[in-house]
Amino acid sequence: MALYSEKVMDHFRNPRNVGVIEDADGVGEVGNAKCGDIMKMYIKVENGILVDVKFETFGCGSAIASSSMATEMIKGKPLSEALALTNKAVTEALGGLPAYKLHCSVLAEQAVQAAILDYYKKNNIPYDPALFKDALEEHEHGHGDEEA
């Protein structure tokens, strides 16, 4: 199918790190069912390192692929590095997304931030709110060109 790159289809068909971490140190959920996509990210943190990451996604092919790719990109990395993950990086790693699907990668970035924020809050770790600007914002949903 020409809609998505091979990489997107691979992550959609064989999503990495799908599932739940029952005793997660942080959980982030972004999106809403009304808009048609929800991402939930579970993280396990040891010594500032993301030792485990799992996700669940309700959404389209690119939403599932974006969350899968995001987990792969942050697993085993220090929190600071995970926080620096951008939707642009996720999109590039996926070999690109159609313009009206870019919000899926934004959602993936926000889900990672939301999970880390949850971890900081639960553990009373001081944080810079500016770093979580995206995750703290209401989920702004745009499928791009509506006329398409």
Partner 1 sequence: MFVYADNAATTKMRKSALETYVSVAENFFGNPSSLHSAGQRAQEVLTDCRTRMAKALGAEPREITFTSGGSEADNQAIVSAARAGARKGKRKLISTAIEHHAVLHTLEKLKREGFEVVLLPVGTDGIVRLRDVEEAIDENTCLVSVMYANNEIGTLQPVEEIGALCKARGVLFHTDAVQAVGHLPIDVNKTGCDYLSLSAHKFGGPKGVGALYVRRGAPLSSLIEGGAQERGKRAGTEDLPAVAAMTVALEESLKESERAIPYVTALRDKLIGGLSKIPHCALNGHPAKRLAGNVSFCFEGIEGESILLLLDDKGICASSGSACTSGSLDPSHVLLAIGRVHDVAHGSLRLTLSAENTEEEIDYMLKEIPEVIETLRNMSPVWRDLKAGKRSFLL
Q: Which residues are catalytic?
A: 35, 104
CB-based contact 32:82 (threshold 8 Å): no
Question: Phi and psi at residue 145, in whole multiples of 5°?
Answer: -70, 105
Taking the complex as a whole, how short is the minimal distance between the CB of residue 101 and partner 1, in angstroms? 8
Q: Is 146 in the site for partner 1 (CB under 8 A)?
A: yes
Our measurement of the distance from residue 106's CA atom to the centroid of its chain's CA atoms, rounded to an integer in Å, reads 7
Our measurement of the distance from residue 58's CA atom to the centroid of its chain's CA atoms, rounded to an integer in Å, reads 12
Q: Is 33 in the site for partner 1 (CB under 8 A)?
A: yes
Which residues ranging from 34 to 93 are in contact with partner 1 (CB under 8 A)? 34-40, 56-61, 63-64
Smaller CB distance to partner 1: residue 78 or 95?
A: 95
Q: Where are the alpha helices (DSSP H) in the chain?
A: 6-13, 61-74, 79-83, 87-93, 102-122, 133-136
Smaller CB distance to partner 1: residue 9 or 84?
A: 9
Kindly list the residues in this chain that would bind partner 1 in the complex (CB under 8 A): 1, 9, 12-13, 15, 18-20, 29, 33-40, 56-61, 63-64, 100-101, 141-146, 148
